[in-house]
Amino acid sequence: MKTSDSNGHGLDRREFLKGCGAGAAIAAAGPTLLFSQEAHAAENPFDTVVVVFLRGGIDGLNLVPPVSGNDRGFYEEARPTLRIPVSGDPSALPLTLANGTATGFGLHPSAVGLHEIWNLGKLAIVQCCGMPTVVTRSHFDAQAYLDLGTPGNLNVATGWMTRAWDTRPAGGIGGTMPLLAVASRQPANLRGSTEALSMPSPGDFSLSSGAPQWRAYRSGMPVGTRGVTETMASLWAGQSGVEIAGLRADASMQLIAQQGYTSTLPTAPVAWPTSTFARQLWTVAQSIRFNLGLRYAAIDLGGWDTHENQGTTGTSFYSNKITELSQGLAAFFNELNATGEMGRVTVIVQSEFGRRVRQNGSGGTDHGYGNPLLVMGGPVNGRRLYGQWLGLNPETLSPYFGDIPVTTDFRRVFSELVIRRMGNNRLGDVFPGYTGYSPLGVFQGSDLVPQYVATASQPMTARLPDHPQPAYGSSLETSRALRARERDRQHWIRRLLAALGLS
């Protein structure tokens, strides 16, 4: 969004931070202050899309393992100590269709909450999902491709959610807070937006200059005393571009402060989980209820790079991570479902890639390719498996280096979401270069004829240096070699930032 000073000179919010002294602005506002639109009343009759990104590459084969048939035998042979049992306690939770028919798959025994949502018909699983046009075992590249929505191209200045919002249908209702990242910094899927708000938690979204006791007026202070927050707000009384931008930043902070956010659930029939991930979901749930016009929200849950000591069930590392994921999503679903909001909320859970079918010698799994994509929400045609599963026969997997292949492009699922739930058919803008839209039927809603020709030019960024794709087996390199490769990558990134004047 652009503003103009008294001389008519345009100034956007990004330019505000750069032009008025980025060092002073950041020192006053802290790293968590990003902008949203001006505070005003807004209704949200549209869907809210929540993207949960599992950073690190979750082992999807142990989240949704085969529990019967030939694939069960191949699975047990490939994972002699990491396989999820199908009998005893704990064991895989069977996935059945609505008519009781077995699917041949189950959920990890720690995913109790997700299993309950499956049985309610509001959880769907897209198997073998990912990027069929790009093969990479790099966390950095794979995450960027997914966040940007442009597999194979990092030379893009905006994230896919930013473009989805910017190309919303004409006449659509705006919002006070249309884009939200519950994070300390803006993720790449919201890159390039001046309307996105990023905050690790509502309590942290405030000025952080000076001692805490001086940041805002508190009872007991001398009459007439003002804290830093009140003093800063009084500085934005003019009409220059800088002052208008500052006023909007202050309005964003006041908006959050006035909503009555709580860090934990005050009352609930079942205690809300206490993990950071669950608290972040609670922030999103409250934002939806406050009718701030929230359309796209982003949350990360990291820790899935399980090269060693992965574990299976019980109190293992992997099992605890599944518990954290499942409990948080179940609390979010149950809370909003009880009061009707879940009918217009869709949650997508994705990771940059899966893990290798065969466990490694360190009790873990290395970087793979195809992975299940979870879709949860009121508008979801759930209790179904989508996509094409080719099986785990080593002969079938041989052309794919022994990995689970990608048979469903993630953009096919996201495009159906954008068209059917958000009423936006401008796929050429949201996912440049993608032309393969054909609905799987995951979402309820009506189809629109996709528009593959971009109607708005996409700003480009300076291109990162090309790196050859890792050779087969490179994920088995020693930790020393991996650290050396990462040092080289960071060196190139620093050089690029210096060249752009951003260091």
pLDDT, tens digit, for every residue of 96-115?
Answer: 999 999 999 999 999 999 99
For residue 174, what pLDDT is reported?
Answer: 66
The angle, 0 to 180 degrees and rounded to 10, between the axes of the packed helices 276-289 and 317-338 is 20
Do residues 69 and 115 share a domain?
A: yes
pLDDT, tens digit, for every residue of 378-391?
Answer: 999 999 999 999 99
Q: Is the pLDDT of residue 248 over 80?
A: no
Q: Check residues 471 and 107 and name the one with the higher pLDDT.
A: 107
Do residues 430 and 493 share a domain?
A: no
For residue 31, what pLDDT is reported?
Answer: 34
| 216 in any annotated domain | no
Q: What is the largest CA-CA distance in the chain?
A: 80
For residue 491, what pLDDT is reported?
Answer: 72
| 413 in any annotated domain | yes
For residue 116, what pLDDT is reported?
Answer: 98
| 278 in any annotated domain | no
Range of the domain at 467: 462-503
Cβ contacts of 152 within 8 Å, gap of 6 or more: 133, 134, 145
**Mean pLDDT across 336-356:** 96
Q: What's the domain count of the chain? A: 2
Q: How far apart are CA 441 and CA 423, in angstroms?
A: 15
Do residues 479 and 383 share a domain?
A: no
Closest by CA position to 190, among listed 202, 181, 177: 181
| 254 in any annotated domain | no
Do residues 413 and 473 share a domain?
A: no
Type of residue at 310: Q
Q: How far apart are CA 225 and CA 152, in angstroms?
A: 56
Residue 116 DSSP code: H
Q: Check residues 227 and 312 and name the one with the higher pLDDT.
A: 312
Q: Check residues 12 and 128 and name the one with the higher pLDDT.
A: 128
> Token digits for 389?
């599963």
| 170 in any annotated domain | yes
Cis, peptide link before residue 66, omega less than 30° from 0: no
Q: Is the pLDDT of residue 87 over 60?
A: yes
For residue 290, what pLDDT is reported?
Answer: 87
Confidence of residue 486 (pLDDT cuts 50, 70, 90): low
| 240 in any annotated domain | no
Confidence of residue 33 (pLDDT cuts 50, 70, 90): very low
For residue 197, what pLDDT is reported?
Answer: 87
| 115 in any annotated domain | yes
- Angle at the Cα of 476 (from 108 to 483), degrees rounded to 5? 105
For residue 260, what pLDDT is reported?
Answer: 62
For residue 83, what pLDDT is reported?
Answer: 98
Q: Check residues 320 and 290 and name the one with the higher pLDDT.
A: 320
Do residues 416 and 357 share a domain?
A: yes
Residues facing 11 on adjacent strands: 3
For residue 283, what pLDDT is reported?
Answer: 92
pTM above threshold 0.85: no
| 346 in any annotated domain | yes
Least confidently predicted of 67-81, 266-280, 281-295, 297-311: 266-280
Do residues 58 and 175 share a domain?
A: yes
Do residues 349 and 475 share a domain?
A: no
pLDDT, tens digit, for every residue of 353-375?
Answer: 999 999 999 999 999 999 999 99
Q: Is the pLDDT of residue 446 over 60?
A: yes
Q: Is the pLDDT of residue 461 over 70?
A: no
Do residues 432 and 484 share a domain?
A: no
Do residues 386 and 303 share a domain?
A: yes
35: Cα within 13 Å, side-chain hemisphere: 22
Least confidently predicted of 33-37, 292-296, 323-327, 339-343: 33-37
For residue 455, what pLDDT is reported?
Answer: 83
Q: Which helix (H) or strand (E) holds 63?
A: helix 60-63
Q: Check residues 335 and 38 and name the one with the higher pLDDT.
A: 335
Least confidently predicted of 90-99, 153-162, 476-485: 476-485
For residue 6, what pLDDT is reported?
Answer: 33
Do residues 349 and 496 share a domain?
A: no
For residue 32, what pLDDT is reported?
Answer: 39
Helix intervals (H) in 98-159? 112-119, 139-148
Q: How far apart are CA 326 and CA 58, in angstroms?
A: 13
Do residues 498 and 416 share a domain?
A: no
Q: Check residues 150 and 203 and name the one with the higher pLDDT.
A: 150
For residue 471, what pLDDT is reported?
Answer: 43
Residue 66 DSSP code: B
Average pLDDT, the chain: 81
Closest by CA position to 115, among listed 341, 468, 376: 376
Do residues 374 and 413 share a domain?
A: yes
> Token digits for 364?
């873990």
Q: Is the pLDDT of residue 261 over 60?
A: yes
